[in-house]
Structure 1
């Protein structure tokens, strides 16, 4: 009885992990499609990545 319950819990956990990975991949794919169709989104993403890298380098310099 106990082994069966553990197996069911593991199955449900694996199912949640699978659904989460699938949803993440779908969200990334939809974001790529949206960036191709609407170029301002691509510009905004590149600008956000640039600002993030500048902030990271600035934080790294202050923590050393």
Structure 2
């Protein structure tokens, strides 16, 4: 059981290191190539607008009550 816990912690640590490394490399690439930074910012803006539209449409949709 101790070995399994150790392997789980090891894989979690390696995954966190890989994620941090990927984040650093992507930020360096965005700073090196400004069109990539513009594309990422535009994608984040579009996702934000889409989430706002979807949440507004979900809130405005009336729910069906089958009990009445």
Scaled by the length of structure 1, the TM-score of the pair is 0.91
Scaled by the length of structure 2, the TM-score of the pair is 0.86
Rounded Cα–Cα distance in structure 2 between residues aligned with 1:51 and 1:36: 21
Mark the runs of 5 or more structure 1 residues left unpaired by the alignment.
1-5
Mark the runs of 5 or more structure 2 residues left unpaired by the alignment.
60-68
Count of residues in Structure 1 that have an aligned counterpart in Structure 2: 59
Q: 1:42 aligns with which of 37, 43, 52?
A: 37
Higher helix share: 1
Runs of 4 or more consecutive aligned structure 1 residues displaced over 6 Å after TM superposition? none
Which residue does 2:21 correspond to in 1? 26
Structure number with bigger Rg: 2
